[in-house]
């Protein structure tokens, strides 16, 4: 495996540069301090990920998408979950209240424990 020294993303052997950071990959994973993350929402929509990434990068929020790789399979295996540092969770929920997501697929808050109804989509 190869790793980005900046964002700690993991890549398969043969990839030499981080797709997000544009820096050369290294063989050893970077040392990262442990932080507890919390799931904020889930989505099957890659467009949502792009919108979320832009918003959170602009705000300087630490996050990652768990299961993002499954959005490239057909049929979708599972949704990608937006994971943020637990201390930032309430701020991010507030930030995303008026975000226009769900351009082509459902999104839901995993804490609610249900898929969106027709009114929510």
| pLDDT value of position 110 | 54
Residues 76 and 117 in one domain: yes
**Structural domain range at position 98:** 33-121
| pLDDT value of position 48 | 87
Residues 4 and 42 in one domain: no
Residues 64 and 112 in one domain: yes
Which residue, among 88, 92, 39, has the nearest Cα to 67 in the 3D structure? 39
Residues 46 and 82 in one domain: yes
Residues 14 and 39 in one domain: no
Residues 42 and 24 in one domain: no
Give the pLDDT band (50/70/90) at residue 81: confident
Q: How many domains does the chain have?
A: 2
Residues 52 and 68 in one domain: yes
Two structure tokens written together for 45? 């929509």
Burial of 92 (0-12, 13-18, 19+ CB in 10 A): buried
Rounded percentage of the chain residues whose pLDDT exceeds 90: 28
Residues 79 and 94 in one domain: yes
Q: What's the whole-model pTM score?
A: 0.56
* DSSP sequence for 13-78: TT--B-TTT--B-BSSPPP-----EEEEEEES-HHHHHHHHHHHHHHT--EEEETGGGGGSSS--S
CA separation for the pair 93, 101 (Å, rounded): 13
Residues 24 and 44 in one domain: no
As beta bridge partners, residue 26 has 3
CB-CB contact of 21 with 4 (8 Å): yes
Residues 15 and 62 in one domain: no
| Higher-pLDDT residue of 11, 71 | 11
Residues 73 and 121 in one domain: yes
Residues 23 and 51 in one domain: no
């Amino acid at each position: 495996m190869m790793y980005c020294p900046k964002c700690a993303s993991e890549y398969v052997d043969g990839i030499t540069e981080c797709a997000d950071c544009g820096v050369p990959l290294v063989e050893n994973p970077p040392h990262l301090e442990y932080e507890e993350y919390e799931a904020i929402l889930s989505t099957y929509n890659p467009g949502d990920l792009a919108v979320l990434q832009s918003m959170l990068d602009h705000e300087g929020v630490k996050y990652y998408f768990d299961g993002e790789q499954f959005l490239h399979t057909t049929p979708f295996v599972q949704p990608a979950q937006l994971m943020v540092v637990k201390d930032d969770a309430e701020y991010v929920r507030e930030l995303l209240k008026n975000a226009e997501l769900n351009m082509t697929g459902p999104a839901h808050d995993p804490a609610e424990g249900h898929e969106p109804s027709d009114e929510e989509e």
